[in-house]
Structure 1
Amino acid sequence: MFVRTLTAGSFVVADYVVFAIMLVVSAAVGVYFAWTDRRQKSSKEFLTGGRRLNALPVSLSLTASFMSAITVLSNPAEVYCYGAIIGFYAVSYLLTMLITSEIFLPVFYKLTITSTYEYLELRFNRATRLLGTMLFIVQTVLYTGIVIYAPALALNQVTGLDLWGAVISTGVVCTFYCTMGGLKAVVWTDVIQLGVMLAGFLAVIIQSAALQGGVITIISDSQQGGRLNFLDFDPNPLRRHTFWTMSIGGTFIWVGVYGINQAQVQRYISCKSMTHARLSLYINLLGLWSILLSSVFAGMCLYSVYKDCDPWSVGLVSAPDQLMPYLVMDILAGYPGLPGLFVAAAYSGSLSTVSSSINALAAVTVEDLIRPHAKLSEKHLSWISKGMSLSYGVLCIGMAGLASLMGGALQAAISIFGIIGGPLLGLFTLGILCPSANSKGGLVGLVSGLVVSLWVGIGAQVYPPPSELTKPLPLSTDGCNFTTADSFNWTSAALPMQPNSTATVPLHDDDGRSLMYSLSYLYFSPLGTIISISVGLIVSMLTGGCRQQVESRLLLKKEDTTFYHFIKLFKCRAKRQSRQLNLEKDREKKFGNTNPVFSDLELDLTKSSIAL
C-alpha cells in the first residue's frame, strides 16, 4: 500500500519537454498547411479541405473531435464514483453510426453544402436557418468553454501552473493552427492528438496493473467494490445512469453530434466520395470504442489503487475531475516524462475538440450569416473565415470562465448537448423524414422543444435531484496512512454519502415539487427531440403541410441507404436460385428425381426470400 502524502508529485524537466513537443507539433501542422495551401482562394477550401480527404484521417479526426479532455479526466472519475456502467455508451455509439450513415449522411453529402444549416433554409425558410445557426453557436461556445477549462484544471492540479495561464495557452495554440491551416490542419492535428490520448491512457493502465499485481486484480477489486455494475436494467427515468439511459439517451445525444452537428458533418462531407464518408464513420466507431474502453479501464485502475484511501473524501483533491491527475503524479512521478505524457493527452483532447469547434463556428458564421447578406469575393471570404477563427478562439477562452461554475465537466457538457442539440435533432429529422412538415411546423416545433428542454434543464440546476438519485458508490478511507499529521483534511471535501440501493424515489419531494426536474440528464435530448417532432407534425398538418411539394433531394430516399442495396442484392440472389430451381424441376419432369438439388425446406426459404 502507498503511503499518502499531501502532494503527490510535481513536474520535472522531462515532463515539460514531452508536453512542449506536443504543442510544437500541433502548431507546426498549422504552419505546414498554411504554406502548402497558401494559394487557396476559396473559403470552401479553407473550411472543407476542397472535399478531397480520405476516409482514414477523417475517421480519426471524427473520433478525436468529441473525445476531449472531458473523456480523459471525467470518464475515469465517473467510473471511480458511479461504476463502469458508462461502458454502455458503446451501444449508443453503434446505433449512432448506423443512423447517421443511413439517414443524415446521404442527404447532406449529395447537397454539397458547407454549413449544415443551409439545409434548413432549403427545406424550410431563412428564419429557421438563422435560429438553428444561433443555437449551434451558443451550444458550441458553451461546450468549448468547458473543454478548455477541464485540462487547465488538470495542469493546475499536477504542476501548480497558473490556472488561467493554462486556459489562455490552450486557446491560443488552437486558434493559431485553426487560423493558419483550416480544416486540413484540424484533421491532421486530431490524428496526432488521438495517438497521444491513447498513449497517455496506456501509461496509466500499464503502471497501475504492474503496481496492483495485474489486470485480474484490478478487475477483481472493481467487482468487489461494486464498480462492475453492468446489470442495471432499471427503467426508472429518474435514475442517473442505467442501461436504458446510456443506450437510449446516449444515442439521441450522439446522433445530435454526428448526425447534424457542424463540427462532425463538416468532416465527413469533406471526403472525396460517399463511400469514403461512410467508411470514415465506421472506422471512427472502432476509435470511439478504443477510447471508451481505455477510459473505463483507467477508472477501474483508479478505484483499485485508492479503494482503501479515497483522495476526494480526505481533501487531497477538491473535485472528482482531479482524481486522474492525482493518480498520475502518485504512480508515475518516478518515471520522468510520463506525467508530461498524460497531461499532453488531456491537453490533446482539449486541442482536438476546441479546434474542431472553432473551425465549425467559422464555417456557419461565414456561410449562414455573412455570405447570404454580403456580395464578397471568395478571396475576401477566405480572409474573413480566418478572422472568424481568430475571433471565436478569443471568445471560447472567455467562456472558460463560465465553465468553472458548471460543476462536473462530464455532466455539464452532455447537458448542454441535450438541452440544445435535442430540439435541433428533432428539426432536422422532421425535414429529412417527414415530407408533410412545413416551415411553420418546423419553427414552432423547434421553439417548443427548446422551451421544454430549457425548462427541465434549468429546473434541474435550481432544484437538484434527491440524494437517493445522485449518491456515489461506497468510498473508503480506512486504509489511509499519511506521512504528515495535518494532511488528513476533512474540511475541504465532505465524505460522500453512501448509497442506499433499496431506497424508493417518491413522486414528489417534501416541498411538493414535481420530480420532473430529477429526470436523468441523458434524457434531456430525447425529450427535446420528441417534443420538436410531435409539435412540428401537428402544426404542419393544421397549416396545410400535407398539400405541399418538397424537392426529392431534400428528403431521404430509400435508394440512398445501404440497407436498400443489401435487400436488392438479396432479392437478386433469390431470383437466381428460383430460376435454378425451375430448371431443376423441368429436368425432374423429363428424367426423374435422381439427384435433387433443392429440398422442400430450401424451396420454402427461397419463396420467402422472394416475397421480401
Structure 2
Amino acid sequence: MTNSTAATLIRTVARLSKVSFSWYDYILFSVMLVFSALIGIYFGCFGSKQSTANEYLMGGKTMKVIPIAISLVASHTSGITLLALPADIYRYGAGYWLGGFSMAILCVITVYVYLPVFYNLQIVSTYEYLERRFDNRTRLFASFLYAISVLLYLPIVVYIPALAFSAATGINVHFITPVVCGICIFYTTIGGLKAVVWTDTLQFTVTVGAIATVSVLGVKSAGGFMEVWNKALEGERLDIFDFDLDPTKRETFWIIVVGLTVHWLGHTSINQSCVQKFLAVPTFKASVMTVIYYSAGMTIMKTASVLTGFIMYAKYSDCDPFTTKQVTRNDQLLPYYVMDVAKNIPGLSGLFIAGITCAALSTLSATLNCLAGTLYEDFISKLVSKETSQKTVSNILKLIVIATGAVCTSLVLIIEHLGGLLKLAISLGGITNGPLLAMFTMGMLFPKANSKGAFYGAIGGLIFISALVIPAKYYESQGLFKYPPKPLSTNSCDFLNHSVLPNSSFFESSNPVFESTTPVYAWNETVTNKSVPFQPHVIFRISYYYYTLIGTIVSMILGLVISYMTNKDDPPVDKALISPVSYFLLPKDSKSNGFTQYNTVTKALHLVTTDSDIDNNYVKS
C-alpha cells in the first residue's frame, strides 16, 4: 500500500465515522434549550420576578443545599473537562486522578479558613471584603483581574461545544454560537440566580445522563470493567504515584496534589461565582454542607472523566486514532468515540452533544450572573445614586449580563483564529489566581497585613508570574517542550496494511497538532527539531500547575514584608475580618465592632453611611 493510498483510505474512514444528526437528535437538543428558556421565564415573570439585587444575585437566601451544590458542580464541569480530560488520560495517563486528594484538602481549607469570614459578612461581592479589610484600590484591582480572566475564559468554554455541534450537524459555528449563547443570556438575564441554579440542575442531569450512557456502552464494548482496568494497567495509564520533586515534569504526585489544591483554592474558596452560591443558603451549616457536596460532586465528575479516558484507551489501545489521523485534536477524541460505539443507537448522538452543550451553558450562565454582581458592586454602584431603587438596580444587573454575554459571544469569532489561546487562558488563570488568593489569604490569616502590603504585593506577584508565564508560552509555541505520550499502537487497525504501516515513517512524519485543553501540561508537537541545542531555563519549564502557587507565594512574601515595614500607624483590625484559625494572632482584647476601624476621612464617611446595614449583617463576637 502506497502512502497516497493509505492517506486516502484514512480520510475515507474518518468521513464514514463522522456523526450526523437525525430528526430525533435535533428534537432532544432543542428540548433542552427550550426548557432552559422556560425556567428563566418562570423565575423572571412569576413570583418575586427578581426585582431586587438580593433576589437576583443571592436567590433571596432561600435556596436549598442540593440544588446549589448541583449548580456548583455543573458550572465547574464545562465542555473543556468533558472533552479534553478523557483525551488527556488516554494519551498521558491518570495522574490527574490524584486531584481527588486536592479536592478533599480544598474542602477542609474552605470550611475552616475562608467560609466563616464570608458568611459572617454576608457580602454580595467577595471583593467587598478586600475594601473592608484593606482599601478601595485593592478591591478594584482584584475585581479588574477577575473580570479580565472571565472574559478570556468564557469564549473558550462556549467555542469548544459549538465545534462539537458543528461537526455533528454541519451547521456553521458562527450561527450556532450566538443562538445557543443568546438563549443562555436570556434566561440568565430575566431569571437571576434562581434560574441559573435550576437550569444548571436540568442541564447537569442531561450531562450526567449522556456521559453515563456512553460509559456503559463503552465498558460493554470493551468486554467489561475488569478488561478496561487491566488494559489501563498494561498501558501504563495507572502509573501515577511518582513522588519525584522535580517541578519540570509533566505530572507527579506533588505537582498534581499541591499545584491543583492551590489552583482550585483560587477557583473556589475566594472565587465570586462559588462564594455567591455558598451564601445563597439560609444557615452557616447549610453553607458548609454545600461545600462538602460540591467537593464530593466534583471528585465524582473528575473520576468519571478519568474512567472515560480508560474506556477509550481500552477501545483504541491497538488502533490509535491520533496516529491514524482519524482525529487531530484532543477535543475531537470523545465525540469520535461516541460516534464509534453508539452510531446505531438513535438519539444518543443528540443526547451527547446536548450534554456537552449543557456543561458549557452551566458555566456561562453561572459566571455571567456573578460577573454582573461584581461589576455592579465594584464599579457601577460608585456612579449611581444611593437613592436608586432596588428594581432599577436589578435592571442594571440584567443589562450587565446582556452586555458581557454579547462581548463573550463576539470574542468567539477571535478565538477560532488564535489556536493557542486556550493554553494562554489556562495560564492566565494561574496568573490572576495567585495575586487574588494572596490578597484574601493575607487579609484573613495575618492581622498585621495592611493595604499597602496587599496592593503592592499583588502587583509584584502579578509581574513576577507574568514574566514567568509569557516566555514559557513562547518557548512552548516554538516546540521546545515535548512530553511523549504513553505507549500507543496501530497493530490492530483492520483498515491498514500492516506490512507497510506499523511504525512507518509515513505516520511518524505526519503527526497532527495535539492541543491539550485541560489544566494538564500542554505541548506542541508540530515543531520538534532534535538538532536545536537551545534549552529553555529550568524556571520556564516549571509545570503550569504551579503558576497559582508561585503567584500566591511571591505576592504574600512581598505583601507581608511591605506590611511589616509600613504598619506602624495602622489601627487594630476588626475580628470579623479575620479567619477563626488566626484569632490567636489578635490582641486578647480584640473585639468585633462589625467593621474595620478606619483611620481616614473617606473610610470614616463610608462607616457612617453604612453603619446600620453592617449592624444587621455582621455577626458580633
TM bucket, shorter chain: 0.7 to 0.9
Contact 2:328 2:513 in 1 (8 A): no
How many Å apart are 1:6 and its aligned residue? 3.1
Which structure 1 residue ranges, 5 or more long, are not aligned? 497-508, 562-612
Distance 1:88 1:81 in 2: 17
Contact 2:50 2:191 in 1 (8 A): no
Secondary structure, counterpart of 1:6 in structure 2: helix
Report the residue type matching 1:451 in the other structure: I
How many Å apart are 1:71 and its aligned residue? 1.2
The corresponding residue for 1:47 is 57
How many Å apart are 1:419 and its aligned residue? 1.4
Out of 548, 558, 576, the position equivalent to 1:535 is: 558
The corresponding residue for 1:514 is 537
The corresponding residue for 2:435 is 423
**C-alpha deviations, 1:393-433, integer Å up to 9, x for none?**
11111222444356579855542321111110011101111
How many Å apart are 1:481 and its aligned residue? 2.8
The corresponding residue for 1:523 is 546
Distance 2:175 2:450 in 1: 49
Distance 2:317 2:422 in 1: 22
Secondary structure, counterpart of 1:436 in structure 2: coil
Report the residue type matching 1:34 in the other structure: G
Secondary structure, counterpart of 2:241 in structure 1: coil
**C-alpha deviations, 1:88-146, integer Å up to 9, x for none?**
11111111111111111111111111011111111111111111111000011111111
The corresponding residue for 2:106 is 96
Secondary structure, counterpart of 2:379 in structure 1: helix
The corresponding residue for 2:164 is 154
1:233 aligns with 2:278: no
Superposition map of 1:192-203 within 5 A: 192-203=202-213
Distance 1:473 1:455 in 2: 32
Contact 1:157 1:326 in 2 (8 A): no
The corresponding residue for 1:7 is 16
How many Å apart are 1:17 and its aligned residue? 1.4
| 1:104–1:405 distance in 2 versus 1, CA, 3 Å | farther
How many Å apart are 1:235 and its aligned residue? 1.4
How many Å apart are 1:205 and its aligned residue? 1.0
**C-alpha deviations, 1:492-529, integer Å up to 9, x for none?**
74498xxxxxxxxxxxx933641211110100000000
| 1:39–1:293 distance in 2 versus 1, CA, 3 Å | closer
The corresponding residue for 1:246 is 256
| 1:289–1:546 distance in 2 versus 1, CA, 3 Å | farther
1:472 aligns with 2:485: yes
1:58 aligns with 2:68: yes
Superposition map of 1:61-460 within 5 A: 61-375=71-385, 376-404=388-416, 407=419, 414-460=426-472
Report the TM-score when normalising by structure 2. Answer: 0.84
Report the residue type matching 1:287 in the other structure: G
Which structure 2 residue ranges, 5 or more long, are not aligned? 1-9, 515-531, 585-621
Distance 2:177 2:246 in 1: 39
1:24 aligns with 2:37: no
Report the residue type matching 1:111 in the other structure: L
**C-alpha deviations, 1:457-506, integer Å up to 9, x for none?**
21121112976652222222232233999x9995874498xxxxxxxxxx
| 1:186–1:409 distance in 2 versus 1, CA, 3 Å | farther
Secondary structure, counterpart of 2:16 in structure 1: coil
| 1:84–1:405 distance in 2 versus 1, CA, 3 Å | farther
Distance 1:104 1:369 in 2: 24
The corresponding residue for 1:584 is none
**C-alpha deviations, 1:137-160, integer Å up to 9, x for none?**
001111111111111122223332
How many Å apart are 1:290 and its aligned residue? 1.5
Secondary structure, counterpart of 1:315 in structure 2: coil
Contact 1:53 1:270 in 2 (8 A): yes
**C-alpha deviations, 1:335-376, integer Å up to 9, x for none?**
011111111111111010000110011101111111133212
Report the residue type matching 1:532 in the other structure: S
Stretch of structure 1 that moved more, 164-173 or 374-383? 164-173
Contact 1:238 1:469 in 2 (8 A): no
Percent sequence identity is 36
| 1:15–1:418 distance in 2 versus 1, CA, 3 Å | same
Stretch of structure 1 that moved more, 223-232 or 322-331? 223-232
Distance 2:236 2:488 in 1: 11
Which of 1 and 2 has greater Rg?
1
Contact 1:69 1:151 in 2 (8 A): yes
Report the residue type matching 2:295 in the other structure: L
Secondary structure, counterpart of 1:464 in structure 2: helix
